[in-house]
Every structure is written in structure tokens, then in C-alpha cells.
Structure 1
Amino acid sequence: MFFQKFNFALLLCFISFSDAYAENIVLSNCNDPVSCGIYEQGTTLAKIADNFNSGSASKRIFSEMHYYIGRDPHLTIGFGHWARKGLDGFFHTMYRNTNVWSNFIGTACSWLIEHPEHYIEFIKDTGIDADFIDSNSCRDGLLNLLLGKAINKNKSKLESWSNTITKERPNVFNEGSDHWFRKVVTLSITTNSGKLFQAAHWANSVASSGEKKAKVIELHSLGGIATLASADSSGWGTVKHAYNAILHKKPRVIKHKDIKVRDKIISIGKSLSYPTFTVPADLVNHTVELQVQLSDWHAVVLWQEYRSYKTDERRTKAANDLGSGQTSDRLNKRLDDLSYTRSRMKNIWNRYFFKTWGPIPKDAATFPTKHSGIAMMISSLEEELKILNKLAEYEKN
């Protein structure tokens, strides 16, 4: 069965030449690429995707849409949690795939035409000049909102509009809302072709990118690839300095930031220099080839860099909340909490680092335990690509 082994490399091409086939398969009772069988259980891609669904709050599902004031203040859509420029890229990539875009517009406009109670709001939100909604005005309105540029050219029209509307209606995009945009978009991106497109776009923009960047620094472990995929999803700034240090064989000093609360500076004063051209002498295991250990060590450096970035980001937010007048023991504790680790990064460490480097270090300014002598699991997407190429060629005939 094609979708039992389906993978990402040619998925966009497959949708292009076989959209009719895509609409005949049944993906209606599943809500993520692994449970749908788009990523086969046990493959590298399925494992990386599963890391992102590491907690109940992750909600990495095809039908996801939210805009949480304070906690996650951006319109966020789909399995990939696309937001801001990522969301702009999501819709522009969809637009370039004629079959997927046609399916999206057809599904969206059918619903809108059948629900005239949303006409006035749709016309206002999309900025089109129309008195009613038909297939043409609907298409033009969605094009304008989803692909247009705002007056501020640094933002898309969609981002600018979503930021404005949530000031008046904070939960307009969240679960339980009956706003036309939530109804239309969640419906249209969860058709068969919508789910396939989401799976392909995430794989190409996150998982594949993580592996490509790992290869540049000769990092082949699944833990390293998963860490870089996580960084690509969060923003490359989370690991940029450590990655460049590894690339240029320079030490990377990971230092926790001083945090300012009102007029008071809270200085942690914790930092640690991570060598990248060798493994620290007291962590070396002489039963394993040094080059293998060095690659494993580079994965640690990147993981710790990501952790320190997110820890300081959390501490800074707590400081800002306290500075704005909020008070709580929880916020105060966060100011000097260096042990924070994001759930998906815990998942990555416990799955791919633990057997080699032991438990998660207490903070980013602490080395892990000595290399156990068990090399980190090596992984690649290349074999999955070969399977996909053969199956895609078969489906053409």
C-alpha cells in the first residue's frame, strides 16, 4: 500500500500528478502524518515528527489553529505550527502547487457560499470590493488575505490582520470560535490533499533542512539531526552561534544572560566553554574512535545551545512580566531557573542522547557525564528517499 511507506522527498511532486488519487484514499480518521501512514512508523522522519508531539500542549495536528495572547501571540496553523513568515511561506508554497491550491480554494469557497451569514465579515476582512460572495469574489478575497503584503512590507497582510483582529477578539482563532476564517482554513487544510501537502511542506522545510545542515558539519546522528530540525522550527538563532563555532572549529562559550527586572540586574554568572575541535579530556571514552565521539559531542553542544537560548528567553519573559506589574512566586522562580528544558528537547535527549551521555545535565553551563562507549544512533533519510522514488515512479504508470 503506497501510504504505508510514503515519505517526503517527492510528496509535492506526487500530489501534483496524482491529486485525484490523493482524494480517493481515506485520511479522514487521522490528524497527523504518522497516524495517517504518510510517514511510516519507525522511519527517521516519523521519529523526528514524533519528537515534536512530545507533550499534550504540542498539538502537532493537521487541524491546529490558535493565537494565544501572551503565551503564543501569533496566528499559528497546522501540523507544522506555521506562524508569521513560516505561515506566509506555507500559503505561498501551496499557491505554487496548482492542484493543492485549487482544492483548497474549492473547499473554502464551497463552504463560504453555503454560509451567507459570513458574507459581510468575509468582505470586510479580505478587503475585496463585492456585495456578495461567489466563486470569483471568494477566490480573490482569499488571495488578497493569504498572499497579500501589508502596508508594512516586513509583514504579510495575514499577519497584520490577525494581530489587529485579536485586539478586539482575543480568542477569534482559537478552538470554539465560529469565525469564518477558522472554519474555512481548518476545513480546507484537512482534505486529503491538504494533509499530504502539510506533511510534505513540514518535511521539506524542517526535517530535510535539519539533515542538510547536519551534513555540512559531518553530524550524522539522529539526535543531532533532530536537534537541528527543532532549531529550524524554532528559529535558527537558537543554535546559530554553536553551529558556526563547530563549522569553524572554534570554542563556544555558553553563558546565561543577565536579566533586568525594573532597575535591578539579576546576574547568574554561569558560563562554560565548549570546545568544538575535540572532546573534553575527562569525557573521552578510549574504547570508541575519537572522531565518532567528536560527532556525538557536537550534537551535545548544539543541544545545550538550544536549551540555553530557550531558558534565557523564558527568564526574559518572566522579567518583562514582573516589570509590567505582574507578581507571582512562579515568575520569580523562573528568573534564576537554569534547568528549564523544553519538552521536545527532553524527548530528544532521552531518546537519542541518554545511552551515550547519561541524564540531562542540570543546566546548559554543565557538561554531561563521560561518553558511555555507546555511539549515538546514526541515521539518514536517504534510504527513505530511495523507497519514495521507486513508489512514486510506480504510481505514475
Structure 2
Amino acid sequence: MEYHDSETATEVAQRIESFMDEIVIPREREALADDDVIQMSEIKRLWELAKERDLFAPQMPEEYGGQGLDFQDMLPSFEQVGRSLIGALSIRANAPQEGNMHALEKVGTEDQKERWLRPLVQGEISSAFSMTEPMQGGGSDPKMLRTSALKDGDEWVINGHKWWTSYGMDADFLLVMARTDFDAHPYEGSSIVLVPTDAEGVNVVRNIPHMGADITDRVGGHAEIKYENVRVPVENTIGEEGEGFRVAQLRLGGGRLTHCMRYSGMAQRALDIAKAYLSEREGFGEPLSDKQALRHRVADAETRLHAARTMIRHAARELDRSDARIEVAMAKTFTANVTSDVIDLALQCCGANGIGKDLPIAHFYEEVRKFRIVDGADEVHRRSIARWAFEDVPSDEMERVLRFDPDRLVEPDDSH
């Protein structure tokens, strides 16, 4: 399919596809076959190979060691890295690092960029985004945020309880979302504060066991963290004080779309494996690929993946012009369900080989299910879309579509 991607986007995506096919996916296959763990030292060697091919951190400006791709130009590359469980990690474009880099690059001070962003891009340090809280704290309804950051002179004093802080187990710093003004609405009274993990009072409780595939040795995990009178300078605020939700949305909007592309790449690889299997596997006197029911299901899967890719690109184009909140919500919800369905179909098509782990589909199946929850559950995005569909439609537009002219009504007759 042609998606009218720029020449640069297409060229870089083709080089990343080659990198995945020649180096990354073969290593992934070995690790899965041998139940092996890929050490972080090996990931760093992949980074060096990516740098040699001018593929390292494609989403970041060249001044920080990236490739300087525009957001829309990155999307085809993210689809290619999504085909492997270690694809994004192999070129330093994995979440949450990619999103945290984006936030610092967009709203960080020059000092924050030099001290934290530059080494983060280069893989010298790692980061985590600490927003979600246990009941009854902020989660799907972020307005319920309970963690506080209150000023004491020129310092923030942070207290709170977080969990699902992705990569929090080995992060060097955390972007902590907290209430900084309890008299204001949470949308105006919250901020994001950079907290070094070695600050006194940062207590990493545990790594939360979770579903999903991980074949590397990194201990980033999904941390539960308690902040107990943690003191950091006010100058560690990311963006303006009180604009935490705006910064989070800036980070999450693009992050949701890059997640969409990564998972669409994963779904496409699963479907390609299934098509190859169906072409080779015989049953009831002919290849399974000749069975019309399977052919139709594969056709529907290809169609829906095409629709998802198109929707993602449209949302990315709108994101350059506005916050594109509804377009992103639609793309994220649709893609999360499409990729989940496609990988489920691929597993079913491969039968016993689908649930076995000689092929990567079972790993993909575990990995993709969480996409309907992370970065906003389906129900939350549908709530936003429904609110736009009903409450955000201007009243005069409602009146226009409901208006009719009685003179245009005709009496029915027998010919009708």
C-alpha cells in the first residue's frame, strides 16, 4: 500500500526494515528458540550498529545524537521496529524513553536538556514516567491524582504513592506528575517534576509482575514507588508550573501514535507468518490457504490493518496542527483492537504452532493484549469520542440536522 509518506520517511524505513531483517529478528529468533535472555551489553552493541547505519534514535534532533526525523516521517520506521520484540529497543526508540525524550526536548530548559536529555538519548542513563497511582488515585481518571508536590522555599517536597512506573526499577530519573496547587482544578494545578532516583525518600517498593513478553535482561519493569518527603529544586519542574496535564498530553499524544505503529508492525509480522503457514499446511486434501473462510478472515485483517495505518497517519498530520485529541483517541482505540484481533487470528491460523513458542506469535499475543489498557483504556478514549460526538457539536448544527420542511412531505400511495 502507498501512504504518501515522504521520500525521507520511506528511505529510512527501508533501511530500518533491512536492519530488523538482517540483524535484530535473527537474534530474536535465537533467543526465543533457546529460551535465552538478551543481555543489555548486547543491546548496546546493537545501538552501535544502528549508529553506524544512521538509524539510532531517529526521533531525536541531530544535535543530541539522533536522526532528526519529523514526527510524521518517523511513523513508517516505528512500524518496522514493531515487528520485533526488541526492535524499538535496538535503535533507542522504545517507550518510555522515547516519550520522555520528546517531553524534555519540547519543554525542558537548556540546563535540563544538557544534564538529562543528552545522556538519555545516548543510552548513558535511563528514565521513567511516574503518573499512575493505586486506588483511589489517578489512573484512567487522572483528575484523581493524589501525589503532592508542595513548595518549601526553593524546593518541591513530594509525597505520594505510584505504581506502573514503566522502567522505574533501573531509572536514573523519574518524571513525576503531582498536584502542586490543591485549590485549583487538577488540569491547572498539576505539574511534572524531574526527580533523581537516588534522592532521599524515593522508595522503590517492587517490580509488579505482569503479562507481556520480555526477552532481555533489563530490570526496568513496572515499579511501585513511594515518595516520602522527597526534596528536589523547583527548577526541576518540566515545563511551566501548573501545566503538568499539557506536558503529559504533549508526551502521550505522539506516544500513543508511535505505539500504534509499533503494534501494527507486530500484527503485520504475525499475519505474514500465518499466511506462510497456511500456504504450507495441508488439511482435508488441500493447502489451508485455499479454504475460503480463512481467506476471507485474512482479507478482513489486511483491510483493517490498512485502515488503522491510514487513521494513524491522519491523526499524526492533525497533531502537527492542533492537539488532535479526538483523532488520536480514535486511532489508538481502533488500532489497539485491530492489532489484538489480527494477532489472535494469526495464532488461530497456526494452531498448535500458534500457541507454541517456536514462533513469536504467542509472545505477540501476550504483549498486544495490554495495548487496550496502556496509554488510556479503550473505555476512556471512547468516553472522549462520545463526548465530542454529543456535547461538542454546536447547538445550531444540531438544530440544522433536525430541521425538516413539512411541505416536502408526500402522502404515500400504492406505488410506494
- With the length of structure 1 as denominator, give the TM-score of the two structures: 0.26
More strand per residue: 2
* Bigger relative CO (Cα 8 Å, ≥ 6 apart): 1
TM-score (norm 2): 0.25
